[in-house]
Amino acid sequence: MSETSSSWGAEQMLQLGSEFSIGRRVIIVGDSCSGKSTLGEKFAARMSCPFIELDAMYWKPGWMPSEIPPFRIIVDEATRAESWVLAGNYDSVRDLTWPRADTVVWLDFPLRVTLPRIITRSYRRWREGELLWGTNRERFFSQFKLWDETESLIAWNLSHSGSLRRRYTEAERSPANQHLTFYRLRSPAALSGWLEQVLFDESLSPPSSRSRQ
C-alpha cells in the first residue's frame, strides 16, 4: 500500500477536524472532464509553483499527437523542479513523473458526472471559439461519434473509465508507490469537503496566503 491512502465518496464525508497534507509535487489524475486541470491550476496558484498540463504538451496544431520521445524529454525537464502540480493520465511518462511526485489526487468521478460535463464544456469552447493551449480549437459535434474514441471524449470515457479505475487501484497498492500519498475523491461533493481540510506546505505559499491561515 502507499504511504497514506484516503478514499471518499459523496455519502462518506470527511470527519470533522481531519486535515490532509499536500506535498510539493502533486499529480492529479482521472477521467476526462473530472476537473483535473481546474484543480491543478488552483493548487499551483496556491503553492506558487508551475502547473504542468500534459495535454498542452502532447497535442500539436491540428490535433496532431506528439511523438513519444520528445514528449518524454519535455515532461522530464518540467518535473525536475522542486515543486510542481501536474494534471494528466499519460502512461508514456508515468515512469518519469510518479517516482518524483509525493502526492496523487485521483478524481474518481462516475460517468453520470463526467459525460454531461464533456458536452457542456465542449459546447462552450466550440461556441466561444476558445483556443486550447494556443494551438487547437474544440470540435463539438465530434463528441457524438461514439464509435470513435480518438474523436469523442464521450467514447473515450465510456471505453476507458473501467480500465483507468483498475489501473489506479493497482497503482495505489503497488510497493513501487509506497512513497506517495493517495487521495481518491469519488464525487464533486467529496472533493469540496476534502478541499476545505487540505493543508499546504507553508514554505511554498506566498506571504498573502500565509497571513490568512
Is 19 a member of any domain? yes
pLDDT of residue 91: 94
pLDDT of residue 202: 61
CATH of the domain at 66: 3.40.50.300
Question: How many separate domains does the chain show?
Answer: 1
Of 104, 109, 110, nearest to 174 (Cα)? 104
Contacts of residue 105, defined as CB under 8 A and 6 or more positions apart, other chains included, come to 26, 27, 28, 29, 39, 183, 185
The β-bridge partners of 131 are 137
Structural domain including 129 reads: 4-201
Is 182 a member of any domain? yes
Rg (CA), the chain: 17
Is 154 a member of any domain? yes
Is 11 a member of any domain? yes
pLDDT of residue 5: 53
Grid coordinates representing 193 are 469537503
pLDDT of residue 131: 77
Long-range contacts of 74-79 (CB under 8 A, 24+ apart): 78/50, 78/52, 79/25, 79/52
pLDDT of residue 128: 84
Is 211 a member of any domain? no
Is 80 a member of any domain? yes
pLDDT of residue 94: 96
Is 149 a member of any domain? yes
Is 31 a member of any domain? yes
Per-residue pLDDT in tens (0 to 9) along the chain, 213 residues: 455 555 544 334 444 445 677 889 999 999 999 999 999 999 999 999 999 999 999 999 888 899 999 999 999 999 999 999 999 999 999 999 999 999 999 999 999 999 999 899 888 888 888 878 767 888 888 888 888 888 888 898 898 889 999 999 999 999 999 999 999 999 999 999 999 888 776 655 554 444 333
